[in-house]
Amino acid sequence: MDNPQPLSWTARLDQSLSRLRASEGRLSLVLSLVIGALVGLVVVAFILLTGRLAARMYPAGGSGVRRILVPVLGSLGTGYLLARYFPFARGSGIPQTKFALFINDGRILFRTVLGKFFCCSASLASGIALGREGPSVQVGGGLASVVARNLGLTPKQVRALVPAGCAAALAAAFNTPIAAVLFSLEEIMGDLHAEVLGSVVLSSATAWMFLHLVLGDDPLFHVSGYRLVHPSELAVYAALGLVGGLGSVCFVKLLLGLRARFMNLPKWTVWFQPAAGGLAVGLMGYFVPEVLGVGYNQVEKVLNGDIILKTVVLLAVLKIVATAVCYASGNAGGIFGPALFIGAMMGGAVGGLAHTIFPDSTAGPGAYALVGMGTAFAGIVRTPLTSVIMIFEITRDYTIIVPLMISNLIAFFISQKLQPVPIYEALAHQEGVHLPTAESRAQAERIQVRHAMRDVPVVLAPELPVAAALHQIKDGSLDAWPVVDSGVLRGMVRYRELERAAAGGGADRRVADLLEPANQNDHSEGEQTPHVHPDHSLSLALERMGTSGLGVLPVVSRANVRQLIGIVALNDILEAYGVASEASPKELGNP
């Protein structure tokens, strides 16, 4: 009897790969580990490179003028690179990652990853007052996306690995593996029960392990043990929650306001806009060097009660302004680190004041700085659970957890009340991106608008006279018609209004004049127009029709709310549900 010939190693490898690829669960497990390790090593390189660059840009005993020149030149250089080569590598990286995850099938380009890594490293090293954690998240998510796509995985599998990359990045950047998992689920996925939990945990732990392998077992901040001195102290922590909440709202509103102004500037100024941030932080840094960079050494000082009250207040105010200007002007960098800095300073200020007034019944300013970090994080980033765990992990101090929870929740509720749209969502809105909420993603599982929508039969130009518009749409088969200017949706005009204008002697008026006032100028963002996205549920479309009184809604892209994809009419929805329409076509918005 002949023995079967043994397989060569290449054949065995081929078989193993086939088995691995065939088993989705096993592949996910292996990739979570690989991505965790890869992202961990990349983020460690990012941290170390930034540190080494910063040490060279700011040698000991450097002059004050250097503190102005370096951030200006750094932001100019990176500004050019960002505008010319890496347009998706601006800002924090969190909204961009969510955009990729929910709208772009988890697709993040390798070029963006490279741009984020190097531009951000140079930018932060030059003293720009932003953080490294948000960018790390985009780098981590991007690497996961690149690896998964190169392995030929399906978009669904790619989307499942991006949060794992994000968690791995945050675990390595902050040295907080548990908070990284929570953040990935709470903020990136918007769902603590997401199916990707297993791979997120695995990659986070792997990245953390590699961080420790290279950099050792040091927490981000070394803090003396704090405890609650007296139960009445909880009132002071509640006051800190109030201050932290209000401070967070001020910061977010300032940042969004400045960002809107920068975005209104002409497009050709984009490449040197970051220099405004560099100049602002440079001028501040000339007088107060502590404002430059992420400032974690200052955070550690205030955590240990080593900074006086006056300085703490000054640093809190300057950092709010510096970070807002740096971010709004388009520099690459995140707001995690600055949020912690601002929170620590606000906490130090409140604690310093309380300890001066009630020295026997309150802890030192360091304890409040510690709680303040979580408070600002909860107020600005709006992830209360992550912020509690993060502070615990950063400091490895469990004793202050109850005051931290109280303070965090107060800040969170104040922030939610005064700034209803969370910062990352608001930033995405400014870019014309409408990220789906967890609720809308759940709805998307049911019948979606994409199943009932249709192409636009006719679009009206805003400069078109009313009479010509009426002629163009002839029979008035739809209740309302989209007005589009050079491919940009300006709004919806009702057929009835066109008829009324023509009958009232306004046949020569422009169609644009009949639009909602907010949509009449060229710079309007079209957000005032009721609309739906293709992945919205039909029930939401019905709801919006009811609210707006329109029988037809424009279907727009999530990536650009001014980009018209199609329309959906009431009758289309009824047909999708299998309900025959006997009403008049125009009433239903149907031919």
Which residues form the interface with other proteins (CB under 8 A)? 13-14, 17-18, 21-22, 34, 37-38, 41-42, 44-45, 48-49, 51-52, 55, 60, 147, 150-152, 214-215, 218, 222, 224, 297, 300-301, 306
Nearest CB to other proteins, comparing residues 146 and 410: 146
User: Which backbone phi and psi does 480 adopt, to 5 degrees?
Assistant: -145, 155
Alpha-helical runs (H) found in 58-154: 64-84, 94-102, 110-125, 133-150
Minimum CB separation from other proteins for residue 297, in Å? 6
Closest contact distance (angstroms) between CB of 486 and other proteins is 41
Return the number of the residue (30 or 65) whose C-beta is nearest other proteins: 30
User: Dihedrals φ, ψ of 334, to 5°?
Assistant: -105, 180
CB nearer to other proteins: pick between 213 and 357: 213
Nearer Cβ to other proteins, position 149 or 531?
149
Sign of CA dihedral 236, 239, 243, 248: positive
CB of 221 to other proteins, least distance (A): 10
Q: How far is the CB of 304 from other proteins (least distance, A)?
A: 8
Output the smallest distance, CB 186 to other proteins, in A: 28
Whole-number Å distance between alpha carbons of 205 and 29: 13
- Closer to other proteins by CB, 124 or 460: give it: 124
Q: Kindly give the pairing relationship between strand 564-569 and strand 488-494.
A: unpaired
Neighbours of 268 (CB within 10 A): 8
- Tell me the closest approach of the beta carbon of residue 44 to other proteins, in angstroms: 5
- φ/ψ (deg, to 5) at 2: -80, 135
Distance separating alpha carbons of residues 480 and 498, to the nearest angstrom: 10
CA distance 380 to 339: 7
Q: Nearer to other proteins by C-beta: 7 or 215? A: 215
For other proteins, which is the closer residue by CB, 303 or 480?
303
Considering the complex, what minimum distance in angstroms separates the CB of residue 224 from other proteins?
Answer: 6
Residues 6+ apart with CB under 8 A from 502: 466, 467, 470
Q: Is 555 helix (H, G, I), strand (E, B) or coil?
A: strand
| Pair 327, 130: CB distance under 8 Å | yes
Check: CB of residue 379 under 8 Å from CB of residue 335.
no
Question: What DSSP character marks residue 221?
Answer: S
Q: Which is nearer to other proteins, 1 or 60 (CB)?
A: 60
d(CA 496, CA 429): 31
φ/ψ of 558, rounded to 5, equals -70, -30
CB of 546 to other proteins, least distance (A): 49
